[in-house]
Structure 1
Amino acid sequence: MTQKIPPISGKLPVLMHGADYNPDQWLHDPRILEEDIRLMKLAGCNVMAIGIFAWTALEPTEGTFTFEWMDRLLDTFKENGIYAWLATPSGARPAWMSERYPEVRRVAANRVRNLHGLRHNHCFTSPVFREKTAIINKKLAERYGEHPAVIGWHISNEFGGECHCGYCQDAFRTWLQKKYSTLEALNSAWWTSFWAHVYTDWKQIESPAPHGENMVHGHNLDWRRFVTDQTVDFCKHEIDTVRGANPDLPVTTNMHMIEGLDYRKFAPILDVISWDAYPTWHEQQDDSGLGASVAFYHDLFRSLKQKPFLLMESTPSLTNWQSVSKLKQPGMHKLSSLQAVAHGSDSVQYFQWRKSQGSSEKFHGAVVDHAGHEHTRVFKDVAELGQTLANVSEVAGTTTPAETAILFDWDNRWAIKDSQGPRNMGIHYEETVLAHHRAFWEEGVPVDIIGAEDDLTKYKLIVAPMLYLCREETGHKLEKFVELGGTLVTTYWSGVVNEHDLCHLGGFPGPLRKTLGIWAEEIEGLYDHDRNGLVMLANNPLGLTGTFESHEICEIIHSEGAEVLGVYTDSFYAGMPALTVNQLGEGQAYHMATRLKPDFLQAFYKKIIEQTGVARAMDTVLPHGVTAQVRTDGLTDYIFIMNFSGKSSCVSLDNASYSRLESNETVEGTIELAVNGIELLKRQAK
């Protein structure tokens, strides 16, 4: 039976609500802290992330430490029942360090050392930077590790970027030597015989550069892996410097952009995953597309450790760095915040608590505006949400019962973006993954986002869009998954290269060929104005009929045992297979040979959901733009019904006995949802 996950902190075993707090910006006015405490309690905020960019306030000159203001802050928190995620301040280093130790400043890919400034403009390999980070971190840990207001460590801030200095070049070569042992093995893995780029000495290898080597795909892929490993190693270095003072304090680091780092590699060293979400709500009247994509990322970060995560940053109103600073419309703050909770977050936290008076984010949204009081729309929205979170805190620690998974690997993503073909004007990997995920979101089907190294046995259905980089062992795992009764769905551009970005020989889709029962002979990229189509064959086992438009990619495949369900409508390959299914052991594997649009994906996955019997949040038809998500402790299911459609809507409940989570009021029949509306219900667990 499913049980609750132990609370992230025993000191605060409820849903957390708070913000990034920067009192170090207001040390000149002690009245601010007193007023902030009053407002935090009024807003129902129980936790703050503090000290994130406070290195200069803590160590204004090398070796001189000023902790008195932090002492007062944490003691005041304790007196008022407020807790803190205490940050290590490495996200932005002091100017004195940049001046005295130039080596801490990053070197860009063009081999020019950066000036002081910005954030994370430092070298994670630099011995000096590691030494200085260890000193400040240990002092924080020794002073505050046992403080009753501290509930955990917030390690640095939004790790990212890369350095190409001499230290990093040496570390990269060491990393490569450990991985490949010999130059012969490296040259083979990177296929350096192309363009006569064979290496004869380890010293010849450098990181990819715009004015040097950047066209060897295995090289590029290994550099990205190295950057992740080096960043993880630095994060672990920071954790080690604070862990000893109080091993019971959990550690996290707030993740943000997925572009540069493989966040799955951070999961083993962190106690809890946290991430920062800043969607551009209201770009269109219908927010359902964006709502579905944000749900994907919530699912991704929840799946990294398969337990509740933290929404560490969001905005209570607007941002100031997006192309348009659009206000959250009425209802959207509650809806978007509780969407995170619906998908597994045990917190809603903001950047920032109080708007800065100056610098680059002085117009970024905050709970407390420049006006400095509670009489604003945004503050009232935050306070209302704070009350709701307090009322529904029994949800904290519950899990998401997903029987469906989407395979999403950073290695694969990097390799696809580097592939040079078949459609360099946009192969749209992320968009494709999001489109497949959205089909489940529309049906209210919980989904995990997993990697190839994860356990597959808990799932009934796995979707692997564009699994371009497919290791032999991944192919064997998916084959075994299908043989044991699982359902697999793949698409074009799958099984093409191995872990070194070398093409599988003997025919695509390489390690998936037996599982899918097809041979992919050619793949064609289409111009934006080109179109093809898929026509379903009569009496196909899915029961789908009609013709569906396809675009961008068409793969020419031959059946090697797979049943053809639909064929192309156009071009010289009209009549050839475009959709197949292969029976293997107790299961089946579907393959889409062309990029299909949402109308097909929705129709197709409805049939697959019925066929596999994967869990849905509710057994009802959900209107367009309305979704449902479920969390459970094994005894009670908590249902979140969310309206992102941009218009009012209603949902017919199924036959279960529901009550409202906040009031315990019995609910039956039809639920009416306002624009940006949300309903929180509970029922006996299925």
Structure 2
Amino acid sequence: MINEKLPKIWYGGDYNPEQWDADVWAEDIRMFKLAGIDVATLNVFSWALNQPDENTYNLEWLDETIDRLYQNGIYTCLATSTGAHPAWMAKRYPDILRVDAQGRKRRFGGRHNSCPNSPTYRLYAPRMAAKLAERYKDHPGVLIWHVSNEFGGYCYCDNCAAGFRTWLQDRYGTLDALNKAWNTRFWSHHFYDWEEIVPPNELSEEWGGGRTNFQGISLDYRRFMSDSLLECYKLEYDEIKKHTPHLPVTTNLMGTYPELDYFKWAKHLDVISWDNYPSLDTPVSYTAMVHDLMRGLKQGQPFMLMEQTPSQQNWQPYNSLKRPGVMRLWSYQAVARGADTVMFFQLRRSVGACEKFHGAVIEHAGHEHTRVFRECAALGKELQKLSDRILDARVQAKVAIVFDWENRWGIDLSSGPTVALDYVKEVHKYYDALFKLNIQVDMVGVEQDLSGYDIVIAPVLYMVKDGYAQKLEAFVQTGGTFLTTFFSGIVNEADLVTLGGYPGELRELLGIWAEEIDALLPEQRNQLVMKQPFKSGQQAYECGMLCDLIHLEGAEAVAEYGMDFYKGMPAVTKHAYGKGTAWYVATSPEPAFLTDLMNELCAEKGIQPVVKPTDGLEVSSRTKSGETIHFLLNHRAEPVTAELDGNAYMDMLSEQTVAGSVEVPARGVVLLASSQA
């Protein structure tokens, strides 16, 4: 568990008492108790309050707040306050201010506004963390450390340019190696001195929000920026651990946020935490996928839901309310997929500035007689009741989907073949097909051990890193099923094409050769014509976006293209390799094909759902001490009947035994526990 001081599912969220007068604090405590709040995240954006100048620290207000909460049974998730630097710091030390991609030096304002390679930031941020850790190292109310807040944002200043050159020297060693990796004989870019290298921004290599002339340069700058921000986190982490080695340290991630390589970051977080803010129209399978991704960052370890809104956001174009029951439903979705906390931003609505219309447990009305508060209080009671059996339970999956941030950067930076290719969307298409079948999935990185899985899916594996093809070959040789797609096996880690024909290093495993890639216009479609329909499928399906023109080199054609000059060429193949099978989907098919394909692959491996697939009904399971809890989540506005397998289960909320089927209320939740082993 995260911290044995509080052995339950933590329930709480961000709390900013410094924004309020003292007469409000007692009312906060009263309402927190009514709602079952037992953890408050403090000090997220209080740097200016805490440190009015270089040498003065005013932390008495924080002493009083932590003590007041603890005396009332509420623990603290203590942030380091470094998510936004003070105005005095920006005025006196302008090196802390970022330079944007257009080369403009920022002024003070906003947040996430510090250059990660600023000497000033790297001096004062870890110093603040050290002051806090030394001060609260023995406080019984502090559960966990929260470094900064939602790290992100690139900088292109002179300090970053110098840091980039040093980073490159460490990575490549020599200019000859760098020039080869970047293919700098293209467009007369050969570098003879490290000082000739500048950041790739809109004054040099990039334009249009990320398009680039040199993918290798831009790819390395993204690696460098992710590493630079990670170094800032680690500076604070190290200072905290000097004083409180017994307390876990985290920072809140942002799901599929594009700028940081979270698999690399995860190695330095004691527990993963993340902020979940779907829109009203976000597919529920997408949110489920991101929960699974956050769980996968540390190989299945339970994570923290650090932020969600109890009602609505303030920053989306259309900030819809969560309909009655949806806050509870989406909270259980997080728990079902591995969360051991349910926490909100925010506990009390701000009175001013841009977050004053962001939802909160305590609304501007200031009392408990609101729909939102009643729902939060009811959920708090349920979580208290269920915590012992859910806490630290693990999700068990036999299917894995590979997700890799560097592969994503490479695709995003690619100068072709189509602007329509979105890596995250393609990954989600495969996840969504399994989600509809109620098949549990682990989202894994390229370093993950694959031996525990029956099926591994790596959509659009454009970049094949050193040794990864051999890892996949070993997985299939021992009986695994592997599937990848169009635009895979194209480049190495430097974004240099693997010569000899696509899919490069994957060619032997897949038993195919891809000669050309056709990019279809948005209105264009082709067909997948099945050689033999799947058991649950149809004869033909629609496909589009990209179509690889492939030749068989040992693989078997499962489907062929139905149109254009490459009609009759293989479009879906499978290849017997050792004891296993490698599949290739050479285009982007319609959802029905992926659902039928995933159903076929899972059936071959004997992977079956506990609950028969039903539209709008999500199913996820967690196991602990021989007991498996199945979460049935109804995302529809009317009740649905869930058809179970042949076993009997205990409904954990009603405490009734159920078998055969169970009704799940509209936007409701049913938790079914198996018998103890």
1:666-685 equivalent positions in 2, closer than 5 A: 666-684=657-675
Please tell me the residue identity of whatever aligns with 2:604: Q
1:102-501 equivalent positions in 2, closer than 5 A: 102-214=94-206, 215-256=213-254, 258-281=257-280, 283=281, 290-305=283-298, 306-393=300-387, 394-424=389-419, 426-501=420-495
Q: Which residue of structure 2 aligns with residue 40 of structure 1?
A: 32
Q: 8 Å contact 1:92–1:119 — kept in the other structure?
A: yes
Q: Which residue of structure 2 aligns with residue 4 of structure 1?
A: none
Q: Which residue of structure 1 aligns with residue 595 of structure 2?
A: 602
How far does residue 457 in structure 1 lie from its aligned partner after superposition?
A: 1.2
- Is 1:507 aligned with 2:507? no
Moved beyond 6 Å, runs of 4+: 540-543
Stretch moving more, 622-631 or 107-116 = 107-116
Distance 2:536 2:31 in 1: 59
Please state whether the residue corresponding to 1:581 is helix, strand or coil.
strand
Please state whether the residue corresponding to 2:287 is helix, strand or coil.
helix
Count of residue pairs brought into register by the alignment: 668
Please tell me the residue identity of whatever aligns with 2:151: F
Q: 1:276-310 CA distances to partner (integer Å, 9 max, x unpaired)?
A: 010012x3xxxxx6110000000000001120000
How far does residue 213 in structure 1 lie from its aligned partner after superposition?
A: 2.2
Please state whether the residue corresponding to 1:591 is helix, strand or coil.
strand
How far does residue 453 in structure 1 lie from its aligned partner after superposition?
A: 1.6
1:464-613 equivalent positions in 2, closer than 5 A: 464-538=458-532, 544-613=537-606
Q: Which residue of structure 2 aligns with residue 660 of structure 1?
A: 651
Distance 2:260 2:606 in 1: 35
Please tell me the residue identity of whatever aligns with 2:662: I
Q: TM-score, normalised by structure 1?
A: 0.96
1:75-90 equivalent positions in 2, closer than 5 A: 75-90=67-82
Please tell me the residue identity of whatever aligns with 1:344: G
Q: 1:500-557 CA distances to partner (integer Å, 9 max, x unpaired)?
A: 001110011011101100000111111111111011113x787754111111111110
Q: 8 Å contact 1:628–1:639 — kept in the other structure?
A: yes
Please state whether the residue corresponding to 1:449 is helix, strand or coil.
strand
Please tell me the residue identity of whatever aligns with 2:141: A
Distance 1:471 1:209 in 2: 26
Please state whether the residue corresponding to 1:134 is helix, strand or coil.
helix
- Is 1:51 aligned with 2:43? yes
Two-structure CA RMSD over aligned residues (Å): 1.4
Please tell me the residue identity of whatever aligns with 1:253: T
Q: 8 Å contact 1:138–1:242 — kept in the other structure?
A: yes
Distance 1:68 1:216 in 2: 52
Please tell me the residue identity of whatever aligns with 2:163: A
Q: Which residue of structure 2 aligns with residue 627 of structure 1?
A: 618
Q: TM-score, normalised by structure 2?
A: 0.97
How far does residue 449 in structure 1 lie from its aligned partner after superposition?
A: 0.9
Sequence identity (%): 44
Structure 2 unaligned regions, length at least 5: 207-212
Q: 1:15-36 CA distances to partner (integer Å, 9 max, x unpaired)?
A: 011010011111xx21111111
How far does residue 131 in structure 1 lie from its aligned partner after superposition?
A: 1.3
Please tell me the residue identity of whatever aligns with 2:268: I
Please state whether the residue corresponding to 1:45 is helix, strand or coil.
coil
Distance 1:358 1:402 in 2: 45
Structure 1 unaligned regions, length at least 5: 1-6, 284-288
Residues 1:595 and 1:327: Cα distance change in structure 2 (over 3 Å): same
Q: 1:553-599 CA distances to partner (integer Å, 9 max, x unpaired)?
A: 11110110001111111001111101110000000011111110111
Q: 8 Å contact 1:653–1:669 — kept in the other structure?
A: yes
Q: 8 Å contact 2:534–2:596 — kept in the other structure?
A: no
Q: 1:397-455 CA distances to partner (integer Å, 9 max, x unpaired)?
A: 0111011110110011011111121112x112211110100111111111111111221
Please state whether the residue corresponding to 2:32 is helix, strand or coil.
helix
Q: Which residue of structure 1 aligns with residue 210 of structure 2?
A: none
Please state whether the residue corresponding to 2:603 is helix, strand or coil.
helix
Q: 8 Å contact 2:438–2:612 — kept in the other structure?
A: no
Higher relative contact order (CA 8 A, sep 6+): 1
Please state whether the residue corresponding to 2:380 is helix, strand or coil.
helix
Q: 1:67-98 CA distances to partner (integer Å, 9 max, x unpaired)?
A: 22111111111211110110011101111111
Distance 2:442 2:538 in 1: 30
How far does residue 136 in structure 1 lie from its aligned partner after superposition?
A: 1.7
Q: Which residue of structure 1 aligns with residue 209 of structure 2?
A: none
Distance 2:277 2:150 in 1: 13
